[in-house]
Structure 1
């Protein structure tokens, strides 16, 4: 039986309707590092907010096999096939794998129009996964309107006063009681609320305004806040409430749906940033504390548990991730909140939970080492560089589809080659069937993505393709998602 996980967010709810101020974001997408013309955010899990996992965006580490209806995937209330849900307060549709983002509750959006891209000359009515210079199966979203690229963030590395505690597991130092941890870390955790316009007009001529809620963690004294990409994706308005009750408007510095990490910024100084721990030093069974904004109304709620597993490979709503597993209670609205160790150090960013009604105590967090690496790139560059083949590909999964498309075999087919890419220079052509990368057999776009995830920009891979009944080996130099 497949697992089911969703992002741990709250459902969005309609807060009003009327004419929008400016262009609604549903068609803006903010996917600048793309090569395709019609990329759009599908809604994620229970968050109802959109991530940039698109069916037509140029990424060289693709999403899992594309579905027929690309673009917005409405929140239908169904759980995905893997059983995980997000911990943000947004849409109601779970991921296909049964895990969802931990977000807060929303009204189901209207049905979206299906996109029908073309594979070669015959592909119609089928979604296409795009793998191009914009690499990474989720890619980076850059909010240029913030004007915050090129800045440096100073991460807090001060020592806690924990003279009364015992030895810690994850780092050299001392552990604290849950009460002590909560007291120390709560000033670093914030509540986030968002608003976004729906993608279509109401019967009365206006646009739905949907709101969502999530959590975040302060990482600098001057207002940089770490959260999940699905918490703020598609938002036209982001507000932050500190533990003191003070409220601020926030701007989105950058967002990366592949890692589900985003950074937002408020105009404030003298804040209390979290002390960053080392997620690589964690041990199974170690005590952890989750602090967040469950249900979007219970800010700075504290739950405790243990590290249940390390390096858990989880597919959260078509997004393959390596996460920390914990039995600390994770509820809608917790997405973006902190998971802290016994020293009060931030070791994870809460983002998903099991969506099975029978499951209890199965929550997930993004390891802080990888989260901070992404966050620093977003702050400094506004985007995340990932290796890219420079092609758009499509999964032919069954004989009927192959017959419809006029191809002889199932597998991964090149739809388009990006001009100026490494794939073009190597001689890759539309219509090629990719059968292996560096002698590693591939049968889906997900296989290609997984293999390229361990590569770097500038690396060369040997792409084995079938063309006109012949097998060719083409040396492709990987480009960058930011190119």
Structure 2
């Protein structure tokens, strides 16, 4: 599906810019000649003769008129067919400065921002079951965030890549270094050894409205480089789940395809309001169209800066607990009166959850004013907090609701996720626990199989 390397020869290029009278004399009278009855022509015979004559006259007149018209259109030359050509003077597309005040036509947005977009081609190596080294390739898009070569893309574009190459609109190709990235936000930052580049201008995704026109420039299919598609904003805060990770996205009906990931989503002022990230092509075995999604730029501005400065996202809120999604099977099995929420499997001693008084068997139902029905809800809610922030948790414990305040720790860099893996995706006697033994396994056993006092 993808090309593993940019090839100028494979680029799709297009030009930038078309009746006789009835007065017969009687015959001489002849005597003694037997009378022959006169034959009458009849109504239909007379009519047919007249119609035939009329048709022939029209054909002759029409041919003469057509010939004359053609000759007139050709200036009287008398040959050839007329072809109309426009004499409209075409206005050249101008490159404009993206200042947040100048609204542009789509062609002007493209001309003013295409030099800030890039094509990304990755390769990776792996070893198969026979011990052989295999190589795979993938492609994506990105945009320049600084004059000295920092580039933003999706984390999933470069995840696992052994080499990354970046190609600019002018055809120059650079080896890129991955500065860092974060799977929870699906954002990564690259660096190329170049200066004097043209960076994008970041807008405010909070100002985006349903019905706004938006444009996406990217690298669909890995070879249709620097293609632009346009459409409307379909939803401004659409909650979706991508491979188990929750996101609040801008939903658009632009044409989004593999290879567009990581590219900019722009408004008609040329400002980047989102990062193109995902699309739905099928849903529950149903083919769908026009369902593309972009990460709101407001959600990741600080993340981008953090990665540029520290190589990773720092200060992420961390509860130091192992949790899973509560469900009806667990509720029936463990005699819990609710079947939705975030079930606490274990608590790290001395961590934020332990200090807040959380314990095994608690079901967290709210964080602040946000209702939690699953672990994914908790992960999404945690993105609104930073290490050191305090939130109020609503917890169902022993048949009643209690509240407690939690002050978040900073997530260790080695964990890679906001909370531990969801432990309720499969069946089992313990509600789908994945076999990972919590630190207080004995408490876990006693809680469910011993006295629950």
Contact 1:462 1:473 in 2 (8 A): yes
Distance 2:244 2:2 in 1: 19
C-alpha deviations, 1:24-67, integer Å up to 9, x for none?
xxxxxxxxxxxxxxxxxxxxxxxxxxxxxxxxxxxxxxxxxxxx
CA shift in 2, pair 1:407/1:351, >3 Å: same
Partner residue in 1 for 2:103: 175
Aligned to 1:382: 311
2: distance between equivalents of 1:401 and 1:331? 42
Distance 1:465 1:177, change over 3 A: closer
Partner of 1:197: 125
SS at match of 1:194: strand
Bigger Rg, structure 1 or 2 = 2
**CA 1:274–1:473 in 2, change beyond 3 Å: closer, same or farther?**
closer
Q: Residue 172 of structure 2 aligns with which residue?
A: 246
Which residue of the partner structure matches residue 399 of structure 1? Answer: 329
Q: Deviations over 1:258-284 (max 9, x none)?
A: 221111111111112112222222333
Q: What is the CA distance between 1:347 and its match in structure 2?
A: 1.9
Equivalent in the alignment of 2:292: 363
Q: Deviations over 1:439-473 (max 9, x none)?
A: 86644223333443433432333445566778665
What is the deviation of 1:396? 4.4
- In structure 2, what is the Cα distance between the partners aligned to 1:349 and 1:313? 16
1:425 to 355, 360, 383: 355
Cα 1:227–1:436 change in 2 (3 A) is closer
Structure 2 CA distance for aligned equivalents of residues 196 and 418 of structure 1: 37
2:388 aligned with 1:458, yes or no?
yes
Instruction: Answer yes or no: is the 8 Å Cα contact 1:396–1:402 preserved in 2.
Output: no
- The offset of 1:436, in angstroms, is 4.8
Aligned-residue RMSD, C-alpha: 3.0
| Residues 326-337 of structure 1: pairs in structure 2 closer than 5 A | 326-337=252-263
- Is 2:117–2:218's contact at 8 Å kept on the other side of the alignment? yes
Q: How does 1:224-235 map to 2 (within 5 A)?
A: 224-235=150-161
Unaligned runs of 5+ in 1: 1-9, 14-159
User: 1:114-143, CA deviations, whole angstroms, 9 ceiling, x for partnerless residues?
Assistant: xxxxxxxxxxxxxxxxxxxxxxxxxxxxxx
Task: Report which of the two has the higher share of helix.
Answer: 2
Measure the CA separation in 2 of the matches of 1:423 and 1:12. 47
How high is the TM-score relative to the length of structure 1?
Answer: 0.59
Q: Does 1:352 align with 2:281?
A: no
Q: Distance in 2 between matches of 1:12 and 1:173?
A: 38
Partners of 2:133 and 2:162 in 1: CA distance: 13
The question of 1:445 aligning with 2:371 is answered no
Higher relative contact order, chain-length normalized (CA < 8 Å, sep 6+): 1
* Number of the residue aligned with 1:275: 201
Distance in 1 between residues matched to 2:163 and 2:244, nearest whole Å: 26
The SS at the match of 2:298 is helix
Q: Distance in 1 between matches of 2:100 and 2:369?
A: 43
Distance 2:209 2:402 in 1: 46
